[in-house]
Copies of this chain bind each other. A is one copy, B any other.
């Protein structure tokens, strides 16, 4: 069935972010989008793109003499993987300790709190 999650490295995820914002894009555009914010060499960015191709995280469709790249791995799916990994590795798989941690250690904006409350209300609503 081959359900192995695609492992994306840190640097690679930066490339994915660019593609998640817009796709398809030529490598040139991806390079342009990342040069400044990352300070990476153009070659580096192309390497990462290629590795992502190899991993099946992005696809490439020939467009004339170059390729247009699109993400295959969905952002949601990746966030899911990473979150679960944190949860399992660091918080023993239990959500409550993680939430407690965030509430104690991360500055929650008023908006965060409001958002949270809305979420909880919605969840409880759905349960009854």
Known: A113-B124, A120-B116, A123-B113. A80 touches B99 (CB 8 A): no
Which chain B positions have C-beta within 8 A of A87?
106
Check A91 for interface membership: any CB of B closer than 8 A. Answer: yes
Tell me the minimal C-beta distance from A101 to chain B in angstroms: 6
Q: Which residue of B lies closest to A100 (CB)?
A: B119
Tell me the minimal C-beta distance from A127 to chain B in angstroms: 8
Check A6 for interface membership: any CB of B closer than 8 A. Answer: no
A102:B83 contact, CB within 8 angstroms: yes
Known: A108-B95, A112-B96. A101 touches B79 (CB 8 A): yes
Contact of A95 among B102, B120, B124 (CB under 8 A): B102
A119:B99 contact, CB within 8 angstroms: yes
Residues of A whose CB lies within 8 Å of any CB of B are 10, 13, 78-80, 82-84, 86-87, 89-91, 94-96, 98-103, 105-106, 108-113, 115-117, 119-120, 122-124, 127
Chain A to chain B contacts (Cβ below 8 Å), 11 pairs:
A13-B90, A79-B101, A82-B89, A83-B106, A86-B86, A95-B112, A96-B115, A96-B116, A99-B112, A113-B123, A113-B127
